[in-house]
Structure formats: structure tokens, C-alpha cells
Amino acid sequence: MKIAFVSLPVAGHLNPMSALAARVQSDGNEVVFISVADAEARAVAAGLRFVAVGTDHLPLGSTKAVEQQFSTIQGGERGIGQNFGGSIRS
């Protein structure tokens, strides 16, 4: 069977999903792991074939910058979209 796994490139999503994908692959299934470029090292370390998506908008290293932006967000009247220059709609 051919199965694709898609995950956000953050530890709480990436770690369990890559472990699950590796387990499914060990049962003889053809597995591909799909995420942004920052997830490649973790997927490859788990022995998975990796396909990067969104590299034009989220090149290697961009996850760290996005995490830093989220760590500075505070609530209030502006809402999350305003903290990112209106690029995120709440």
C-alpha cells in the first residue's frame, strides 16, 4: 500500500507522526512524509522518504522565525491577524 503522511514541522506533531509513519513503513508499506523543508532531517532520520512542499513561502529555517513570531503574540483587540501584518485571518 502507498501511504503519505503530512505533518506540521513542530515537535508535538512531527515526532509522533514520523514515528507512526516509520511503523507503517516497517509493515512493508510504501511511505512518503510530506511537510515543509524544516521537517526533512527528522523524517530522514526516521528512515522515511521526504517531499518538501511550500518551499517558496517557507524555505529551510523559516519554522524557527514563525515560532519566534508566535512567542511574542499577546491577546488584545488587535487579534492574531494584526500581529502578522494581516497575513493571518482569525
Other C-beta atoms lying within 10 Å of the C-beta of residue 24:
16
Q: How do residues 37-81 score in pLDDT, each as one tens digit? A: 999 999 999 999 999 999 998 899 888 887 777 777 766 555 555
Answer whether 90's CB lies under 8 Å from 79's CB.
yes
> How much is the pTM?
0.74
Written as one letter, the residue type at 44 is V
CATH of domain 2-74: 3.40.50.2000
Domain boundaries in the chain? Answer: 2-74
Written as one letter, the residue type at 11 is A
